[in-house]
Chain A
């Protein structure tokens, strides 16, 4: 017995110790210095956020919040731009107009000079006044080659703070469309802090203590979350007569979509900007979940998913083949089978529904395409693709075997299913397509080098102008590695010139824009360098348990896009926060 006790006691002690450790050892110290520096009086209980004043969001951040640097627009913590740092304007996709934000007004004083009057009385969160110099400084940063908007300086000649309230931009070429895009996308940073940073820190700096003009401040962050706290002295309260309702925003770093769905159902999340397959069932049921539309497609559209053929390879270099391919894809089956109607089939032009006014229906009806198996077969035959060996699949014009692979990233389950569906419907029309699922980054490498047959892509979001859409389609010159646009390596000088022409149309000249878009649309549909498939949704599922009045298509409800995604807070995401109401009141 004595012997056994000797074994058991240390083991049990170790067990107890370890149990104890779960309380102690696993407690990471709060890293956010904001938590410590916040005025004590404001935080009655700094550790427990009152549920009815807190908004829980997810779907933007997929890893620990690693930096709070607003210039890192692609990976800074949720809300760094939009909640903490702000832009000169916001963009309202419904009205198609810029809304003055940090700028009070802005206008072209002549063809190549743009003047911004900034809003008086705005203060940085450290108490310093926000001035025109900060704006000039921020745009001046773009002269560094590593800054995302460096390319702006190819046509921007000079920025000057004329006085404390006025900034003057002088252009060598006035790209009006792109300029508007910059006006609502560039976060303004304080000169008095950022001018001290090295170039390395400007680009790669973590910016642990962000000082912005925005309505929120980061108060703490941990591996799987960032907590934002409302600034009650935010300028917009008086100047815009707006106030975001949640006092705290906790942005949860999504471990995975299904976990988000679980949290949402357990009322631990208020807004999930995740793709939640099957959510249609929950919206219909009694789970207290809402989406923008009560019926399919449930969501607003955020971007277009395209099938991109590599136009430098045979037979994808043949327009007739590309058109037959487009005709063979049964998009309806993807929309219904794979997505359960959470997405919407794209129009042949692929222009998002928010850009409907620019779509030239005449061009669509004349040159558009739609799924038709028989017609696809017929088109293949007419173009000289015949099934010579009788296996039901066509051969190349020269009689060699035609076999294409369609790549989508491994693990992107919805796209993997979509690719299988495309391959199946292609085979029925006689085109031999095999889905292939390389790792995401292997795919990026192949896609960049043009080492693929077919790929699915959607890397262009909604913006203020169809210019960004056609830039994606037609940008020249084709580089050795194509990083973000024109993966199909389609070369059409005329189209690219037309894109430039569109860029130079003033943004209030809707008719001029329509005319330019119509020409591009015609080239797109006649040549089909990319094949629009469906509109990916602006995934947004909200729980009505704590907050109500979520944006929706219902009458009287706000119409803003309920998204925390990067670059969407300026497109209605922030405004949606101001419309929320506590559910229990």
Chain B
């Protein structure tokens, strides 16, 4: 087990290094002088502010130093939590801007990912080899999983927001209220959260349901199932074993899907102007706020790595083979 976690951590560590390196390299590969272009891009017209920023960028990039030193310096700043100053909301530090958005993204992602996984698995398991259910779950599942996140979001916003007027279509909470701990406020938050959550939940649901359905069919066709069946074991028992076996790859699937799920959350937030990381990325791109973009990128990578690790732990807890030191999950 130690070997298993050691290997995982090594991969995550390497990934993080790669991500940071991409972040460090890309401005240096940009055509032209990055400092000059950063300055032209910052919408600051005051000569003094421009000078201050030039000094800031130059020292940040550290072009006067040898390359390896620049690289180490970049890491140093990073480890101090210094992501730079946002250009879009000058002079707020990038880390502050990101921390303001993170709770919203987590509040959308965690419930939608977990619930869609749980519900999708149940649904898929029920549908497998049950002709009638299968005929509805399967096509609906395929349509859902093939739907671009932003399109479903637009459809929901249009139907339930614009036409029916049941839900707000923008923001994290009403503009008429201020954050507080009252029940009203929590309800208001939920009201704004419902549609983005629903679109994330639905798209992901389709994928899990199909995955589980197919997995169960594989399991039911496997030798042990046939053997049990031949021994006259009740069908329920066989299905239970099949489900248990099929859940394991679904957990690995969850880890594999994290990138796609994050991408879905980002575009969904954009449709609903939900004040999370997705909206932040859009603003960073529109305002050419590269520090903010870099910071958000690193943050997302970090989040995905942590989630991966959590899933690894869950896997070990669930799958006795990994604990016994047998190769269970493919590393």
Q: Does A286 contact B (CB under 8 A)?
A: no
Interface extent on A, as a size class? 35 or more
Of A7, A21, A30, which is within 8 A of B179 by CB? A30
- Is there contact, CB below 8 Å, between B175 and A26? no
Q: Complex formed: what's the CA distance from A47 to B161 in Å?
A: 24
Q: Are A49 and B177 in contact (CB under 8 A)?
A: yes
Contact with B170, one of A21, A259, A444, A448 (Cβ below 8 angstroms): A259
> With a CB–CB cut-off of 8 A, which chain B residues contact A204?
49, 52, 91
Residues of B within 8 A of A30 (CB): 178-180
From 242 to 299 in chain B, residues with beta carbon under 8 angstroms from any chain A beta carbon are 243-244, 247, 273, 275, 279, 283, 286-288
Q: Which residues of B contact A25 (CB under 8 A)?
A: 103, 106-107
Asked if A22 and B318 sit within 8 Å, CB to CB, the answer is no
Which residues of B from 112 to 167 have beta carbons under 8 Å from A?
114-115, 117-118, 161-162, 165
> When each residue 47-72 of chain A gets 1 if its CB lies under 8 Å from chain B and 0 otherwise, what string results?
11101001010000001101100000
Q: Is the CB of A23 within 8 A of B45?
A: no
A146-B49 in contact (CB<8A): yes
Q: In the complex, are the beta carbons of B107 and A22 less than 8 A apart?
A: yes
User: In the assembled complex, which residues on chain B have CB atoms less than 8 Å from the CB atom of A491?
Assistant: none
Of B41, B46, B110, the contact of A18 (CB 8 Å cutoff): B110
Q: A48 and B176 in contact (CB under 8 A), knowing A21-B110, A203-B49?
A: yes
Near A by CB (< 8 A), chain B positions 176-193 give 176-182, 184-186, 189-190, 193
Kindly state the separation between the CA atoms of A263 and B165 in the bound complex, as whole angstroms.
Answer: 11
Query: A440 at the A/B interface (Cβ < 8 Å)?
Result: yes
Query: In residues 1-55 of chain A, which contact B (Cβ within 8 Å)?
Result: 1, 3-4, 6-8, 10-12, 14-15, 18-19, 21-23, 25-30, 35, 46-49, 51, 54
A26 with B104: in contact, given A8-B118, A47-B185 (CB under 8 Å)?
Answer: yes
What CA separation (Å) do A32 and B170 show in the bound complex? Answer: 23
- Taken together as a complex, chains A and B put the C-alpha atoms of A67 and B49 apart, in Å, by 15
How many angstroms from the CA of A481 to the CA of B34 in the assembled complex?
17
Minimal beta-carbon separation of B58 from chain A (angstroms):
18
Tell me the B19-68 residues at the A interface (CB within 8 Å). Answer: 37, 40-43, 45-49, 52
The answer to whether A28 touches B100, judged by C-beta atoms less than 8 angstroms apart, is yes
For the complex, is A206 an interface residue (Cβ under 8 Å from B)?
yes
Contact B106 A47 (CB under 8 A): no
What total of chain B residues lie within 8 Å of the partner, measured CB to CB? 65
B180: shortest Cβ distance to chain A, in Å?
4
In whole angstroms, how far apart are the Cα atoms of A189 and B238 in the complex? 79
Set A18, A48, A439: member contacting B288, Cβ < 8 A: A439
Q: Note all chain B residues with C-beta closer than 8 A to A56.
A: 175-176
Give the chain A neighbours of B118 by CB distance below 8 A. Answer: 8, 11-12, 15
How far apart are the CA atoms of A259 and B275 in the complex, in Å?
13
When chains A and B are docked, how far (Å) is the Cα of A51 from the Cα of B47? 44
- Of the candidates B42, B176, B247, which one forms a contact with A54 in the assembled complex, judged by CB atoms under 8 Å apart? B176
A23 vs B92: C-alpha distance when bound (angstroms): 26
Interface check A445, CB cutoff 8 A: yes
Given A21-B107, A66-B91 in contact, is the A11-B170 Cβ separation under 8 Å?
no
A477: Cβ under 8 A from any B Cβ: no
Given known contacts A18-B111, A22-B111, is B178 in contact with A35 (CB within 8 Å)?
yes
Contact, CB under 8 Å: B103 / A440: no
Scan residues 449-498 of chain A and give those whose CB is less than 8 A from a CB of chain B. Answer: 483-484
Minimum CB–CB distance for B233 against chain A, Å: 15
- Tell whether, in the assembled complex, residue B273 and residue A259 are in contact, meaning their CB atoms are under 8 Å apart: yes
Is A518 on the interface with B (CB-CB < 8 A)? Answer: no
Is A223 interfacial (CB 8 A cutoff)?
yes
A337 is an interface residue with CB less than 8 A from chain B: no
Closest Cβ–Cβ distance, residue B182 to chain A (whole Å) = 6
- The smallest beta-carbon distance between B100 and chain A, in angstroms, is 5
* Cross-interface CB contact of B175 among A18, A46, A250, A440, cutoff 8 Å: A250
Q: A146-B46, A204-B91, A262-B161 are in contact. List 5 more A-B contacts (CB 8 A).
A: A10-B314, A22-B189, A30-B178, A252-B175, A268-B174
The contact sample of 17 A-B pairs, CB cut-off 8 A, is: A11-B114, A15-B114, A15-B118, A18-B114, A27-B103, A28-B103, A46-B178, A67-B91, A222-B178, A250-B176, A255-B279, A263-B170, A263-B175, A268-B168, A440-B288, A442-B40, A444-B43
Query: Which 6 pairs show the lowest CB-CB distances between chains A and B?
Result: A146-B48, A441-B41, A18-B110, A255-B273, A445-B40, A26-B103
